[in-house]
């Protein structure tokens, strides 16, 4: 069965960097686009970024463009989100999700990132 497991969250000071990982299993990872979505405490879902199956195309929300980088290692079945210049408003649970037909059909359980001094 499809499994997505995020890791790498934690408490980080404003301006610092953090890298999230998403380990995928149960499907042919290299054949699917992947997303990152975040949810601030008590708030709604916010789409963050998407990466094509081969890593050639990537798109970002305006709120993270220039600060976050999405990437993947298909040999390790792993998706990454490199976050830099972190701000308090980046505090959220970050989910990775598998793409199919322009929808997100499987989601991980999320990893919490807290940006605070």
Partner 1 sequence: QSALTQPPSASGSPGQSVTISCTGTSSDVGGYNYVSWYQQHPGKAPQIIIYEVSKRPSGVPERFSGSKSGNTASLTVSGLQAEDEADYYCSSFSGSNNRYVFGTGTKVTVL
The residues that touch partner 1, with contacts defined as CB under 8 A, are 35, 37, 44-47, 50, 57, 59-62, 95, 100-110
Indicate the residue among 11 and 45 with the shorter CB distance to partner 1: 45
* Smallest gap from residue 37 Cβ to partner 1 (A): 8
* Smallest gap from residue 82 Cβ to partner 1 (A): 19
Q: Per residue, what are the HEC states of 5-71? A: EEECCEEECCCCCEEEEEEEECCCHHHCCEEEEEECCCCCEEEEEEECCCCCCEEECCCCCCCEEEE
* Smallest gap from residue 81 Cβ to partner 1 (A): 15
Structure tokens that stand for 24 in this block: 């995928």
Indicate the residue among 7 and 17 with the shorter CB distance to partner 1: 7
- Using the Cα atoms of residue 73, residue 50, residue 58 and residue 28 in order, give the sign of their dihedral: positive
Indicate the residue among 4 and 12 with the shorter CB distance to partner 1: 4
* Smallest gap from residue 117 Cβ to partner 1 (A): 27
């Amino acid at each position: 069965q499809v499994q997505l497991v995020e890791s790498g969250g934690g408490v980080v000071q404003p301006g610092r960097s953090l890298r999230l990982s998403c380990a995928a299993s149960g499907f042919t990872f290299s054949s699917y686009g992947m997303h990152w979505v975040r949810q601030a405490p008590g708030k709604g879902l916010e789409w963050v970024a998407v990466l094509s199956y081969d890593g050639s195309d990537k798109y970002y929300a305006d709120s993270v463009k220039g600060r976050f980088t999405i990437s993947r290692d298909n040999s390790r079945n792993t998706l990454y989100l490199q976050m830099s210049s972190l701000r308090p408003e980046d505090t959220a649970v970050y989910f990775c999700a598998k793409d199919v037909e322009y929808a997100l059909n499987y989601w991980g359980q999320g990893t919490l990132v807290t940006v605070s001094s």
